Amino acid sequence: MKVDIDEMAECFSQVSLTILDAYKFVREPGEKRLAARTAPSSAIIFPLRGRARMAFDGAPYEMEPGKFFHAGPNMTLDKEVVGQSQWEFVLIHYQIPHSEKGTFAYALSHYELNHGHNPRINDLLQKLCHTCTMPGSLQALRAKSLFFSVMDEVLTCSGNRQRESGRELVEQAMEYINNHYMEQLTIPKLAEQYNLGSKQFAYLFKKHGNISPNDYLISQRVSRAKELLCTTACSISEISDCVGYSDPYYFSKLFKKRTGVSPSTLRIYFEKKYRVI
């Protein structure tokens, strides 16, 4: 499941949930369990050290510190500790009312978030595990408060990492366009190169670049075309091909739309302005 941080935060802020338990576990290297099932409640796993592989309903996950993993109720489960070290993790079970399951898909699905190394999260998890062993309504309230503090840290850190990752991706995409504008580039092809759908790629590009990917590609092509028109004797058709347009008529229309003048008019103006007398 693809996670929208803002949507997930809104869901957790509105849902009525009960923290059932929170425990720290240690598993030995090579320990394996196949064809099991998750609990009847929703579960969150926080790896603390070591590594393991898990599959929820057949979807594989690499369990390692700095990540958050969610599993829905009654999912098929395969798990194996990998490497030579023990695998230590915190497991939290929580439950939401049956009446709210239709509006909170995040409680019923499997997914992961990458929040990175965060000592505060580990400290809150330790406090949560301790609080969940103590009886009483006040301790239950404190457990819920600690849980939401954990989720606040996880979502904030994951959101920051996603934004930074998106910014780096757009910078890379801009650099690629700068170097390959003369090729037959399309937005779907660019998006596929970064393992994204066209809409998601365009959204990230606009968000971090303040311009759509198509407009950026056109601006690079038009800029290069201006340079060639003013510094070479190449024909309009040749320049069109040089900047990635196989149809010179389409190129001329696009050029005029973007600059206000046709390619030939710009060339004539430049030649008159800089003619040596």
Give me the CATH number covering residue 219. 1.10.10.60
Q: How much is the pLDDT for 275?
A: 60
156, 59: one domain: yes
In a domain, 32, yes or no: yes
Q: How much is the pLDDT for 274?
A: 62
In a domain, 9, yes or no: yes
47, 89: one domain: yes
36-62: per-residue pLDDT in tens?
Answer: 999 999 999 999 999 999 999 999 999
145, 14: one domain: yes
In a domain, 175, yes or no: no
224, 88: one domain: no
Of the three residues 128, 162, 196, the one that is the final residue of a domain is 162
153, 189: one domain: no
In a domain, 176, yes or no: no
204, 142: one domain: no
In a domain, 167, yes or no: no
Tell me the average pLDDT across 217-228: 95
Instruction: Return the structure tokens found at 68.
Output: 């958050």
Q: How much is the pLDDT for 277?
A: 44
**pLDDT category, 71, cuts 50, 70, 90?**
very high
Domains: count for the chain: 2
Concatenating the DSSP letter of every residue in the chain gives ----HHHHHHHHHHS--EEEEEEEEEE-TT-EEEEEE--SSEEEEEEEESEEEEEETTEEEEE-TTEEEEE-TT-EEEEEEESSS-EEEEEEEEE--GGGGGG-GGGTS-EEEE----HHHHHHHHHHHHHHTS-SHHHHHHHHHHHHHHHHHHHHHHHHHHHHHHHHHHHHHHHHHHHHTTS---HHHHHHHTT--HHHHHHHHHHHHSS-HHHHHHHHHHHHHHHHHHH----HHHHHHHTT-S-HHHHHHHHHHHHSS-HHHHHHHHHHHT---
| Whole-number percent of the chain with pLDDT over 90 | 76
In a domain, 172, yes or no: no
Tell me the average pLDDT across 93-114: 91
158, 186: one domain: no
pLDDT over 80 at 272, yes or no? no
52, 134: one domain: yes
User: Which span out of 11-15, 44-48, 229-233 was modeled with the highest average pLDDT?
Assistant: 44-48
139-159: per-residue pLDDT in tens?
Answer: 999 999 999 999 999 999 998
Structural domain for 100, as ranges = 5-162
Q: How much is the pLDDT for 107?
A: 93
**pLDDT category, 101, cuts 50, 70, 90?**
confident
23, 64: one domain: yes
Of the three residues 102, 134, 162, the one that is the final residue of a domain is 162
**pLDDT category, 258, cuts 50, 70, 90?**
very high
The CATH number of whichever domain residue 62 belongs to comes to 2.60.120.280
In a domain, 174, yes or no: no
143, 13: one domain: yes
In a domain, 238, yes or no: yes
More reliable by pLDDT, 136 or 164: 136
